[in-house]
């Protein structure tokens, strides 16, 4: 993700007045928390805490956005949130995930579920359902999805899944169905446009998840085999 803002002026124009300054302050606390992680990332002993705290702060930010989504966000506030996300990404860039997880499957397991469960928040569910939302909020949720899927990729690589992951709530049946339907909207569309970055990241995640043989029933239950066969057929046309 580029450090340059991905929020355009069009994303922030909907004909309404910007939020008052006092209303923008509702974001300042959680953004300060996110930004504090960058300094800590320079010290290796904090890397595990940064991942754990980062998931918690992103969850807080998503909840705040949902609570105020009916208000019009000012460009200043939107860019502040964007900068907070970028700062967290910079902190993640200082963490050697392979080194952190390679010999600690418990840490990778915990991180995997910490981040994948962020998709179970109302805001992220609405994004995956492609619910109608203001453009700048959609753009922010796309960035959250990118962060989530990027971290999950590392956690999944080194964690060990067992039969316990086939049971609620670890089976994440609703989430896997949301991810499947999100991809279907693009991969089975009449248009021939390329898949979005998020769809490509989800596909990569599902591919790696399916390598955890014990967990494959979670994908079978919601219809992934049938969907993949259909996508292959579409691709052969």
Q: Give the span between the Cα atoms of 25 and 175, in whole angstroms.
A: 32
Whether 11 contacts 78, CB under 8 Å: yes
- What pLDDT is attached to residue 215? 95
pTM of the model: 0.85
């000012």: which residue's tokens?
Answer: 74
Whether 102 contacts 158, CB under 8 Å: yes
132: region left, alpha or beta (phi > 0 left; psi from -120 to 50 alpha)? beta
Closest to 95 measured CA to CA, from 29, 150, 160, 142: 150
- What pLDDT is attached to residue 236? 54
In the chain, which residues have pLDDT < 50? Answer: 1-5, 9, 12-21, 23
pLDDT digits (tens, 9 = 90+) for 144-155: 999 999 999 999
């Amino acid at each position: 993700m580029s450090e340059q803002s991905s929020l355009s002026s069009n994303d922030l124009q909907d004909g309404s007045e910007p939020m008052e300054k006092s209303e923008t302050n509702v974001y300042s606390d959680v953004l300060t928390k996110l930004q504090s992680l960058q300094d800590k990332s320079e010290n290796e002993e904090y890397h595990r805490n940064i991942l754990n705290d980062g998931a918690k702060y992103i969850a807080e930010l998503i909840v705040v956005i949902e609570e105020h989504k009916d208000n019009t966000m000012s460009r200043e506030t939107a860019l502040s949130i964007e900068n907070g996300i970028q700062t967290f990404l910079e902190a993640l860039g200082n963490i050697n995930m392979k080194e952190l997880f390679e010999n600690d499957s418990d840490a990778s397991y915990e991180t995997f579920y910490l981040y994948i469960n962020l998709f179970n928040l109302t805001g992220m569910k609405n994004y995956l359902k492609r619910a109608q939302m203001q453009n700048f909020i959609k753009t922010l949720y796309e960035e959250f999805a990118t962060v989530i899927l990027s971290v999950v990729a590392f956690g999944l690589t080194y964690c060990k899944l067992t039969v316990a992951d086939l049971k609620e709530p670890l089976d994440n049946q609703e989430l896997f169905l949301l991810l499947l339907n999100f991809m279907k909207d693009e991969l089975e569309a009449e248009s021939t446009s390329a898949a979005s970055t998020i769809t490509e990241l989800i596909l990569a995640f599902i591919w790696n998840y399916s390598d955890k043989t014990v967990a494959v029933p979670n994908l079978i239950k919601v219809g992934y085999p049938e969907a993949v066969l259909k996508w292959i057929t579409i691709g052969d046309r």
